[in-house]
Copies of this chain bind each other. A is one copy, B any other.
Amino acid sequence: MPLPGPLQDLVAEFQRLPGIGHKSAQRLGLHLMAQPVEAIERLASVLVSARRALSRCSVCHDLADGAICRICADPARDGGLLAVVSGTREVLALERTREFKGRYHVLGGLLSPLDGIGPEQLNIRTLLERLRDPALREVLLALEPTVEGEATTLYLSRLLVPMGLTCTRLASGLSAGAELDIVDEVTLARAFEGRRPIA
């Protein structure tokens, strides 16, 4: 038996979401269709009003519920340290460490020529403008150690280093709790290459 048409449409929509396969989409659809109409109308309205209320911070391009996001508006953050990240999830990850007190610049993705994402598709022009700030001491290229992340780090470092800026990247090496015989060889080679003196 196929599902009723309207439910099929809904399941198809859910399957486009990240991490939602056919089974999860069907489960979500059936769960929602068992709720009262009012509950579904409320969910739809929360969804639309959240999207309408959010825009991009005019300084760092992160999600914001005003013209400027909370971090850019916070005078306690260190304006001398700027972390360049691909998106909001990476901002949240760095915030969870509670170690980073600087500001962010959200690129909105990573270079990926095969997907049609070149420098023009990323927020690089506004990054270069922010780099003119004389208070800036260090730019941390906090991009993921993937093919796209490495390409973007290389591209940006070639722009930034000649400007005389201190340009850093996140350390590569062992995860906390890692077992040496299980770690992949690239990670272990990088951990060796980045070895540090003890005390």
Contact = CB atoms under 8 A, between A and B. Distances in A.
Interface of A: 1-7, 9-10, 13, 17-20, 24, 26-35, 37, 40-41, 43-54, 63-65, 69-71, 87-89, 91-92, 95
Given A5-B53, A34-B88, 6 more contacts: A6-B50, A6-B54, A19-B27, A37-B51, A37-B52, A44-B45
A92 B91 CA distance: 42
Contact of A24 (B6, B19, B44): B19
Main secondary structure of the interface of A (DSSP, over half): helix
B89 A46 contact: no
Contacts of A5: 53, 65
A17 B28 contact: yes
A165 to B, nearest CB: 25
B50 A47 contact: no
Interface hub of A1, A18, A27 (most chain B Cβ within 10 A): A1
Tally of this chain's copies: 2
Contact of A30 (B6, B37, B63): B63
B27 A47 contact: no
Contacts of A47: 10, 13, 32, 40, 43-44, 47
6 contacts: A1-B91, A5-B65, A6-B53, A7-B54, A30-B87, A33-B51
A89 B40 contact: no
Contacts of A2: 70
Contacts of A45: 44
Nearest to A41: B48
B4 A54 contact: yes
